[in-house]
Structure 1
Amino acid sequence: MTENLEQVAEEIRAELARQDRLREEALLLSRSVIRLSALAIRAIHRAAFDDAETRLAEAREAVARLDEIGQACPLFQATGFTSDAQKEYAEACLTDALVRGRPLPRPEELRVPIAPYLNALGEAASELRRSILDALRADRLEICEALLEAMQSIYDFLATVDYPDALTGGLRRTTDNVRRVLENTRGDLTTALRQQRLQEELRRLERRLPQPPS
């Protein structure tokens, strides 16, 4: 009854060894993607877009290999380390598009599943707060308003994605965080706009006042 047990056992060991090698490779790739994506976002906030594109290109190759591993071993497609890497990469790409005023890349273009893409979109919207505050310090209020509008549009969309967490990867928590960041940012921008208008009114008043005799 067990004449072929040794053969079956060898085949199982070989398959497990193959999966273990793929798992180790996927872990290394995931860590690399997360690191490169973080560096890309930092470069984007510094307006060092050439550096950001270099980091994103490296991350893109690693994400493509992760996708190949997922096809070869579907067990890894739903693992936490893979989805975390996909989310971080998508966040960097989406942040780059938002900051530079470019069309948003689609999930299939990034080779990222919908759940990590949605959470990445929320994280990218929150990243815009830093860009808005930087623009505020530079008195570039028109850019602030455009970025705030983008944040609002993303929040409005995410708030309508009413599906179980098993499908969206805990999107509700991300959406709640976007709402808090959006409210804080709108408050900061409103205060800055009021201060700007007050300064403009004071300057107009000074011009209307009679000049003291020399």
Structure 2
Amino acid sequence: MMKPRITDDIKKDFRRTIEEIIRRLNRRDLRREEIIRRSREIIRCSGRLTAQIVSEGYSDANDILNRLRECEKNVIELLNYYEEDPDLVRGGVSLQAFIEFCEASYLAHILYGSESLCNLNKKMPEEAIILGILDATGELKRMAINALGRFDIDDAEDMLNLMREIYNILSGTDYPDPLVPGYKHKIDVLRRNIEDLEALLSDMKTRKRIIDLFYEKSDLDNFSNT
């Protein structure tokens, strides 16, 4: 049996390799901490913007768009990290940050007609864009319900039609969780939201017809009594 020869050169080789790995891992760990910090900031600012966009009566478009662009600065930095070290950015809290930013961006696009800050040209991960759009449809349902509360049936129907359009495009697709996390569940949620909103809208239209008939009859009775 051959006896190992642990020479000084072998020891130096191990030392050089291990020290270089430690340097690289330390750099990646610092980068990871910065990625987490920026991701959390994006999630905070995007969540606040989404809540304000959807909230009843909030109509200061310039304020929303300016704050969305401020939030975008952290997104751009995160995308730069994505190009340098995609494994650190592709999932987890970073993916959630991209999704929430896309959700807020698309809601602003729908309400104010502004250019979406979340698109393929900006090197946003594809799964973040599609999941952000799906999350935005949940807020569309909430906005449609608010519109129905104001008896604004046309606005509610416009939002429902957009939800249907998105569902019709995506319903024939099926991506596994490793590729697009939670995709099938979000498609199912969208379908249920459409069905719920269709039922609410149908009920509201029926109520409106009854109210309109009541006022028509009241007008006729008043006319007959004059």
Q: Tell me, yes or no, whether TM beats 0.5.
A: yes
State the partner residue of 1:149.
Answer: 161
Aligned to 1:73: 85
Equivalent AA in structure 2 for residue 30 of structure 1:
S
Deviations 1:112-159 (A, max 9, x none): 211121111111011011211222222322111111101111122221
Q: Which 5+ residue runs of structure 1 have no aligned equivalent?
A: none
User: Mean alpha-carbon deviation: is it higher for 62-71 or for 29-38?
Assistant: 62-71
RMSD of aligned alpha carbons: 2.1
State, as a whole percentage, how many aligned pairs show the same letter.
Answer: 25
Partner of 2:63: 51
Compute the TM-score of the two structures, normalised by the length of structure 2.
0.86
Q: 1:36 maps to which residue?
A: 45
Give the distance between the partners of 1:93 and 1:109, measured in 2 at CA: 14
Give distance in 2, aligned partners of 1:81 and 1:137. Answer: 36
Which protein is bigger by CA-based radius of gyration? Answer: 2
Give structure 1 regions of 4+ aligned residues with deviation exceeding 6 angstroms: none
Structure 2 counterpart of 1:3, which letter?
K
1:26 aligns with 35
8 Å CA contact 1:126–1:182 kept in 2: the answer is no
Counterpart Cα distance in 1 of 2:29 and 2:96: 20
Q: Secondary structure at the match of 2:173?
A: coil
Aligned length, in residue pairs: 214
- Counterpart Cα distance in 2 of 1:74 and 1:104: 23
- Write the distance in 1 (CA, Å) between the matches of 2:70 and 2:14: 45
Measured against aligned partners, the alpha-carbon deviations of 1:77-116 in whole angstroms (never above 9, x if no partner) come to: 3231111111111111111112335676663145321112
Amino acid at match of 2:27: R
Matches of 1:7 and 1:37 in 2, distance apart? 45
Decide whether the 8 Å contact of 2:61 with 2:112 is kept in 1: no
Q: Find 2:216's aligned residue among 183, 195, 204.
A: 204
| Letter aligned with residue 112 of structure 2 | R
CA distance in 2, matches of 1:100, 1:69: 30
Separation in 1, partners of 2:225, 2:169: 61
Partner of 1:17: 26
The whole-number CA distance in structure 2 between the counterparts of 1:67 and 1:195 is 50
Question: How far has the Cα of 1:213 moved from its partner?
Answer: 5.6
Give the secondary-structure state (helix, strand or coil) at the position aligned to 1:51.
helix
Structure 1 residue identity aligned to 2:35: A
Matched, 1:171 2:180: no
**Which residue number in structure 2 is paired with residue 113 of structure 1?**
125
